[in-house]
Chain A
Amino acid sequence: MVMQITAKQSIHLPRMAELIRVEELSDREKVFEFKFDDGKELGQKPGQFVEVSIFGVGEAPISVTSSPTHKGSFELAVRATGGVTAKLHTLDKGAKVGIRGPFGNGFPLDTLKGKDILFVAGGIGLFPLRSLINYVMDKRSDFGEVNTLFGCRSPQERLFIGQLADWDKSKDMCFLETVDRVPDDYWKGNVGVITTLFPKISFDPQKTYAIVVGPPIMYRFVIAECFKKGLADDHIIMSLERRMKCGVGKCGHCQINGLYCCQEGPVFTYAQVKSLKEAV
């Protein structure tokens, strides 16, 4: 029993935040930068998510795409898919939304410190992964070698293209990207699914952790490639998507077997996921 409690502690009550910047990423995706009205930091770990409220429409779980090393504001990159995200896409600078969170475990920073890292992002899987990529780039000396693989369906669906170009030029990481198919001929880069990039990179599987985020279909093929490269089960880290409605382990929507994606997840090692059913 919980005897000392007041309505102000409502698990549903968001904090108000102001939209301070909107940037179009593609036809369907935008990045939104927010700051809290009370001036406080979100205080997230890379890989955590928030619940975004648009009053009158509802709430949706959205991963935070900015790194906690970025102070004063935070970014959410969002595809217009459901009611809340479609409405979010109509908002302009100055609009107010509600934010709850951050929720979830986030990526295991302590495990990753000092290690080599392989980032694998498929499509908008880049959104949650970017929080960790930016974190690693901002604290570059805390980590070993970094390889980043990004794949999306077509050149039109590339995201954060300015940043992709920076990563491509950077001496701090090896960056490779590919597109599944090319509807026109101006694309001079790699063509093929993301697994076609694996033979082009090399890393020490003992020292390396792969962080993989993408659509469910991508995981099976990418995990197989990780094994071919000699990575152990607990060196493969994934972030899973579920319908987190409450974020506090009560509403039941995000359960994966006995686990709650909003509590024990959304980040899991493959060692954990392989013993779960219906996870991917």
Chain B
Amino acid sequence: MQNRVISKKDLAGFVDDLIKTKAAGEVIGIKAQGNKFNFGPLAGAAELRLDYDISLLPPKKYFFPQTETVLKYEVGANPKVEPVVAEKPLCIIGMHPFDIRGILLFDAVYGGKEPDPNYFLKRNKAIIIGVDCLAPNPKAFAASMGTNVTDEGFDLMLTDLGSDYFVTVGTNNGNTLINKAKTKEATAADLKKRDQVRKDAEKNYKVSLKLKKEEIPALLDATWESQIFKDKSESCLSCGSCVMVCPTCVCFDVQDEMALSLKGGERYRRWDGCMLTEFASVASGENFREHKEQRFRHRMYRKGKYLVERYKYIGCVGCGRCAIACLAEIASPAETYNLLKEAK
């Protein structure tokens, strides 16, 4: 597998071919949505906005949709039930490295000893063409989390070198695809240029951690009682915006819905999150995280400690979406970790 360099014009041709031939499935790309950006079906390469800062929703939605039917059933004396998996091959263009790192966490959570076919049958069929983030949003701190770049989780990774893109080839599938395009072999000088572009982009992150990301679990071990959790969470609206836009929020709720005929229905799962009031409540009425301070703290621990310890992947990739979405302006994990560090 040889890394390539492709001109911007030839990349557009490559993308238009992918759309036309469907060689890698339906093509999804990062597009403008009003004055923001989001992933959606791509009609042509001209729509692609690889210079974007952040997508409204993380691309996890293609493997873990907002709502997803998981069972279909018939009711009655002899109920019948069958699993439902909606899968189709997708080629997703424009994932930032930190979102790819989010997907790697999903792979770990949805794998394990009881792997989830609803996730993997979509995930396994997807081609991921990433792009290095050179102009991050002002709330992002991926460079501090070590997630501004990734060397795994993609088939192809693009880096904007000006008039060309450097194409890092991650998999054989990626290699086969890019071989169809008009490219040049990347030279040592190109590689050096890619690395310099990545390094320069680190300076564009406006928010940074005042500690090493490896130190977060130990910091949290020592700060459970901190007043900061109470103070920060006081203005929390418990709206769940922070967890809904998060690329590492993996949690879901399961619900049934009967068809109008009342002869059968569907069981579906949908995004759920620990910042919502009822998340940890049980049928008897007990709510194990009744107060917003508890929910706020749980989220910070989940991102900074629990997920890292359980899956070895960082639970926050520093994308900044939660901080953008939060009306109370309290959601950024970097901000809380920095405050905890300063107060110590």
Contacts and interface: CB of A to CB of B under 8 A. Distances in A.
Interface of A: 1-3, 5-14, 16, 53, 55-60, 81-82, 85, 94, 96, 98, 215-216, 241-243, 245-246, 248-253, 255-258, 277-278
Interface residues of B, number: 60
Interface string B264-299: 110101001010000111111010110000100010
B302 to A, nearest CB: 8
Contacts of A5: 115, 117, 120-121, 124
B77 interface: yes
Contact of A251 (B79, B83, B252, B286): B252
A12 B252 CA distance: 12
B286 A96 contact: no
Interface stretch (B17-25, B49-57, B305-313): B305-313
Which among B71, B258, B264 has the greatest number of chain A C-beta atoms within 10 A? B71
B79 A58 contact: no
A49 to B, nearest CB: 13
Nearest to B114: A248
B120 A59 contact: no
Nearest to B306: A258
Contacts of A98: 79, 81
Contacts of B120: 1-3, 5
Interface of B: 70-71, 73-75, 77-79, 81-85, 107, 109-112, 114-118, 120-121, 123-124, 224, 250-256, 258, 262, 264-265, 267, 269, 272, 274, 279-284, 286, 288-289, 294, 298, 301-302, 305-306, 309-310
Contacts of A60: 283
B71 A13 contact: yes
Given A10-B71, A278-B288, A1 B279 contact: no
B286 A245 contact: no
A258 B75 CA distance: 38
A97 to B, nearest CB: 8
A55 B79 contact: yes
Nearest to A3: B124
B256 A9 contact: no
11 contacts: A1-B111, A5-B124, A7-B84, A12-B267, A13-B81, A53-B81, A59-B267, A243-B282, A251-B269, A253-B272, A253-B279
A277 B77 CA distance: 45
A70 B289 CA distance: 38
Contact of A278 (B78, B252, B294): B294
6 nearest CB pairs, A to B: A252-B251, A10-B83, A258-B306, A82-B283, A248-B114, A2-B115
B182 to A, nearest CB: 31
B254 A12 contact: yes
Nearest to B278: A243
A59 B267 CA distance: 10
Given A7-B84, A10-B117, A258-B305, A252 B250 contact: yes
A245 B254 contact: yes
Contact of A11 (B116, B224, B282, B305): B116
B167 to A, nearest CB: 22
B206 to A, nearest CB: 31
A1 B123 contact: yes
A104 B47 CA distance: 49
Contact of B310 (A82, A245, A258, A277): A258
B117 A7 contact: yes
Contacts of B115: 2, 5, 9
Could you tell me the dominant secondary structure of chain A's interface residues?
loop
A19 B79 CA distance: 13
A250 B306 contact: no
Contacts of A57: 256
A250 B250 contact: yes
B85 to A, nearest CB: 4
Contacts of B310: 258
B117 A249 contact: no
A226 B267 CA distance: 44
A248 to B, nearest CB: 4
A82 B70 CA distance: 22
B251 A7 contact: no
B81 A16 contact: yes
A7 B118 CA distance: 7
Contacts of A3: 120, 124
A119 to B, nearest CB: 21
Given A56-B256, A250-B114, A258-B310, 12 more contacts: A1-B111, A5-B117, A5-B121, A6-B117, A6-B121, A56-B264, A98-B79, A243-B281, A243-B282, A251-B269, A256-B288, A278-B298
A55 B272 CA distance: 21
A258 B309 contact: yes
A1 B108 CA distance: 8
Contact of A249 (B112, B123, B224, B284): B112
A10 B114 contact: no
A257 B306 contact: yes
B254 A96 contact: no
A241 B282 contact: yes
Contacts of A81: 283-284
A11 B120 CA distance: 12
